[in-house]
Amino acid sequence: MNTSKESTKQEYARRMDRVVDHIREHLDQELPLERLAGVACFSPYHFHRIFRGMVGESVKSYVRRLRLERAAGKLKQTATPVTTIAFEAGFAAHESFTRAFQTMFGCSPLAYRKACQVENSHRQIHYWKEMKMKVDIVTLEEMKVVFVRHTGPYTACGAAWETLCSWAGPKGLLQPGARILGLSYDDPEVTPPEKLRYEACIQIDQPLEVEPPLGIKEIKEGRYAMTTHFGPYEELSASYARLCGQWIPQNGHQIDNRACLEIYHNNPEDTEPEELITDIYVPLA
């Protein structure tokens, strides 16, 4: 294997080991993403996707699982009341702890205390998976776009597109070959839905005058790792996780702290979700 690629993989693994160790050693504390990203020296913007891609589950799910596994150990080895263990695991109510425990272990905490065996919570994590992902390293030239900003759930960005397309259509900007793209500034698995930021964009190559809610901006030239996602937009996060947390570090690259970019090849208004084609661009340092 290329020495540079192997070195990058090892560095990513070392950083993730630090995060995992930090989480295990501070399960009783709040573990905000910004703090964990700092422990790993990863960009806060991309940290959650890197973590999910390498570890195989989100930060929230991982922390929750470790707390439940630790709770199971206490149920097995001590006589501590279930309510106390629930609070120590970060649950505000006995009922919510019981539901989560039942989902994970297949029985109630009391039943587990009597009969079940817990899996070792310190099992080794295997970060690297076999990759069969087609990715190209490309340079996108600087481009000027007209955009409409949307704040809120990504699934509700249709109004922004309607505003943009209603303006662009009469001006002939929606001809075949037009570059239709979106800028996603937040990870929907991290940022609350009402605070997600997104910009619906159309590339332009001529001077234009616009008024709010439309705007014009330049996207700087830069290097990106690009892969194509086939299928519903709701499944884009899985492609992002594989690209950020597997392919990029395995191939010796570092992620830059710029916005990700999506180029859309068909219209969701007249295309089945399974037939949607989206190019994903993750910025590289």
Tell me: do 93 and 147 sit in the same domain.
no
CATH code at 230?
A: 3.20.80.10
Among candidate residues 115, 145, 167, the one where a domain is terminated: 115
Tell me: do 171 and 88 sit in the same domain.
no
Residue 225 lies in a domain: yes
Tell me: do 79 and 211 sit in the same domain.
no
pLDDT in tens, the chain (285 residues): 577 888 998 899 889 989 988 998 888 888 999 999 999 999 888 899 999 999 988 999 889 888 888 888 788 767 788 888 888 888 888 888 999 888 888 888 888 887 654 444 455 678 888 888 999 999 999 999 999 999 899 889 999 999 999 999 999 999 989 999 999 887 777 677 888 889 999 999 988 999 989 999 999 999 999 999 999 999 998 999 999 999 999 999 988 878 899 999 999 989 999 999 999 999 998
pTM of the complete model: 0.70
Residue 94 lies in a domain: yes
Domain limits at 194? Answer: 136-283
Is the bond preceding 213 in cis, omega lying within 30 degrees of 0?
A: yes
Tell me: do 176 and 256 sit in the same domain.
yes
Tell me: do 268 and 171 sit in the same domain.
yes
